[in-house]
Amino acid sequence: MTGLFARIAYLRRKPRPLATAKTHATRANTEGRARVKLWVVIGAGILVAAGGYFWLTSARILAQPVEVSYGPEEPAFASSIGPLLGAEMMRGNTIETMVNGDIFFPVMLKSIREAKKNITFETYIWAPGKVSEWFIEALTERARHGVKVHVLVDGMGTLKLSHDDMRRMKHDGVEFLTYGREHWYELKPNINHRTHRKLLMIDGRVGFTGGMCIDDHWLGNGDSPKQWRETVVRVEGPVVRQMQAVFATNWLQTTGRLLVGPDYFPDEPHRGASLAQCFKSGPGEAPENTRISHLLAIASARKTIRISHAYFVPDDLAIEMLLAAVRRGVDVQVIVPAINDSRFGRAASRSRWGRLLAAGVKFYQYEPAMFHCKTIIVDEIFVSVGSSNFDNRSFSINDEVNLNILDRTVAAEHRRIFEDDRRKSRVLSLAEFEARPAWQKAVDYFCGMFRSQL
């Protein structure tokens, strides 16, 4: 028995033979399969997380088609859209529509130079260049003369603006702040959330909104690929108080300070005949207001819908409602860019056009310049213009502002502008759309999967 135990001990101490090449290969294959499985699990996890995030950030509060039995010219429309958006339609406004930077920048700068008490200005992009210098000079000049100048810009939109330019403004008395994150240590819980609003108010009496930003892209007359075609409105009348209130909301969120009193909210007399409202939209304060406004206008259409949008990426509900409008005899026309600043966004947008083209919606691609307009005209009486794009980012993720107008004269001017843009655009037929190369259809489909973030 003792010999047996000694033999076992000897075998345990005996060196094992070196692993063969076959053993190494087997081990390598096993490790390789394990790595593949790990990456598959990681990839699946990323896809699930992305899918969940896309679902959470998609506009989904309004889930059923809007159905109304009246058009936008009937009192029931104004009586509904006011309370729904938290901004009653107000009478007595003057609306001036301006096309392209050569027209609206001089008017905006003139209004700034005429400010007596305060200037409130919110924008998404502020980039260095000629336009930036013009506005810095005008704002700082007013601040040095005792006018209170409040400027609020999105953090993403100021990435190109130098600290020297910011310091120049602040040194001369301009309150130049970054929305929701004035200091580096103030981290926003949702970095995907931005203020996309474009607002300029002078003494609470004159207001501007549209798609414009402080960037040289908006210089010119929209007739060159390097320029951006844009529409802006200048407003006087009681509705400017609503525009001021929209600005004051984000100012409060950023500073903790209210802007109040007659200097900011004067008792403005009626200036004109336009019925208008200015409403805010944003995930933290008025979720899906822009979406509700657009879809209610589409539901009320009885004759025509004219859409001019830089980023036209309708969700499923919007497509269904546009198709319903076509079925009840509404003539639907859409102008989109032929030149786009985002190839990814362009492809995602194209992925949503097929059913609309097949149903008879007419698409036109604006060719002279980057088309950045954000307007809708319904039944030659209702106009919506502002910062909002026709996509999920504007409907659900960003802070936006729009001016809704009920006025046949204003609508006629916007219709004239639409027709002028249409003449400069190329018709996109269903046959041409369906004849896209297979690779382009695949790219469009892939990009369309990310449309909730556009």
Over residues 333-351, the pLDDT tens digits come to 999 999 887 778 788 888 9
Taking CB atoms within 8 Å and a gap of at least 24, the contacts of 265-271 are 265/204, 265/241, 266/203, 266/204, 266/205, 266/241, 268/204, 268/205, 268/236, 268/237, 268/238, 268/240, 268/241, 269/92, 270/91, 270/92, 270/93, 270/237, 270/238, 271/92, 271/93, 271/94, 271/236, 271/237
Residue 147 within a domain: yes
Residue 285 within a domain: yes
Residue 10 within a domain: no
Pair 451, 348: CB distance under 8 Å: yes
Q: Which residues constitute the domain of residue 238?
A: 75-453
**Which pLDDT value is given to residue 269?**
79
Q: Using DSSP, state whether 310 is helix, strand or coil.
A: coil
Residue 221 within a domain: yes
Residue 342 within a domain: yes
User: Pairing state of beta strands 148-153 and 175-178?
Assistant: parallel
Pair 417, 366: CB distance under 8 Å: no
* Average pLDDT of the residues in 377-387: 98
**Which pLDDT value is given to residue 180?**
62
DSSP letter at 214?
B
- As a whole number of angstroms, the longest Cα–Cα distance in the chain is 116
User: What total of structural domains would you count in the chain?
Assistant: 1
Residue 8 within a domain: no
> Does position 42 have pLDDT exceeding 70, yes or no?
yes
Residue 13 within a domain: no
pLDDT in tens, 278-311: 999 999 889 999 999 999 999 999 999 999 999 9
DSSP letter at 17?
P
Q: Using DSSP, state whether 43 is helix, strand or coil.
A: helix
User: Pairing state of beta strands 118-123 and 148-153?
Assistant: parallel
What is the dihedral angle through the alpha carbons of 418, 422, 425, 427, rounded to the nearest 10 degrees?
130
pLDDT in tens, 185-230: 555 556 678 899 999 999 999 999 999 999 999 999 998 998 999 9
Which CATH number belongs to the domain containing residue 436 in this structure? 3.30.870.10
Please list the residues that pair with 195 across neighbouring strands: 399
**Which pLDDT value is given to residue 5?**
56
pLDDT in tens, 64-73: 999 999 999 9
What is the dihedral angle through the alpha carbons of 224, 225, 228, 229, rounded to the nearest 10 degrees?
60
pLDDT in tens, 120-150: 999 999 999 999 999 999 999 999 999 999 9
Residue 374 within a domain: yes
Q: By C-alpha distance, which of 128, 134, 116 is closest to 153?
A: 128
pLDDT, mean over the chain: 90
- Name residue 178's amino acid: T
**Which pLDDT value is given to residue 447?**
86
> Does position 8 have pLDDT exceeding 60, yes or no?
no
Q: Using DSSP, state whether 210 is helix, strand or coil.
A: strand
Q: By C-alpha distance, which of 230, 213, 184 is closest to 421?
A: 230
> Does position 10 have pLDDT exceeding 90, yes or no?
no
**Which pLDDT value is given to residue 365?**
97
- The model's confidence at residue 364, banded by pLDDT at 50, 70 and 90, is very high
Pair 132, 214: CB distance under 8 Å: yes
* Average pLDDT of the residues in 56-63: 76
Please state at what angle helix 343-350 crosses helix 438-448, rounded to 10 degrees.
100
